[in-house]
Amino acid sequence: MRKALRHLRTADPVIGGLIDRIGPYRIKYLEPRFDSLAKSVVYQQLSGKAALTIYTRLSDALDGEVTPENVLKLRPAGMRKLGLSKQKITYIRDLAAHTRGGTLDFAALPEMGDDEVIEALTRVKGIGVWTAHMFLIFALRRPDVLPIGDLGIRAAVRKAYALEQMPAPGDVEDRGRCWRPYATVASWYLWRSLESKAGM
């Protein structure tokens, strides 16, 4: 981690300033399992607080065992009462079906490259590149992921670099080239730089 922080400080003084202000890198990881990806689906397009509330209800309804089998036993109407949208119910059930059927093999993902993981995950309905990026960062612990479409990252870049407008994903990608091969670390500091921790 010292090597990553040294690189980021040298490559980008703005990120270096965030590192000095925020302190040690303390990312919280998830296990690379079905429940972690289901949680990422719940978090799509919601504030961290709202998503955590809904996911906690789902977990409680399944007695803490968020597995494909248990999810598929829940009726969609029951999932709706937990606060899940109809769309997310479809996505989570499709994810459960893919996992139970073996077309998505979580045990194989750690051996795949980042692009291969994104390709495998985005075959599932409702799993887009943002969700795949979150899984790469928080479950597979990949060091060089830059989620350019994440609103929190874009807002943090705007704030940190005093930009007049919200940067487009391509602008974030251009700015972040100097962070590689530690874009994940830079992303974490950007999230933490916001008053809200973006649910991370």
CATH number at residue 121: 1.10.340.30
Q: Contact 60/91 with Cβ under 8 angstroms?
A: no
Statement to judge: residues 52 and 123 lie in one domain = yes
Statement to judge: residues 38 and 101 lie in one domain = yes
Question: What residue numbers bound the domain in which 178 lies?
Answer: 2-26+145-193
Number of domains composing the chain: 2
The model carries a pTM of 0.85
Statement to judge: residues 13 and 58 lie in one domain = no
**DSSP reduced 3-state for 20:** helix
Based on the residue annotation, tell me whether 150 is a catalytic residue of this protein.
Answer: yes
Identify the active-site residue in 115, 150, 171, 174.
150
CATH number at residue 182: 1.10.1670.40
Please indicate, yes or no, if residue 67 is contained in any of the structural domains.
Answer: yes
Q: Sign of the CA dihedral 117, 173, 200, 54?
A: negative
Considering 113, 138, 163, which residue would you say is the last residue of a domain? 138
18-55 pLDDT tens trace: 999 999 999 999 999 999 999 989 988 777 788 999 99
136-191 pLDDT tens trace: 999 999 999 999 999 999 999 999 999 999 999 999 999 999 999 999 999 999 99
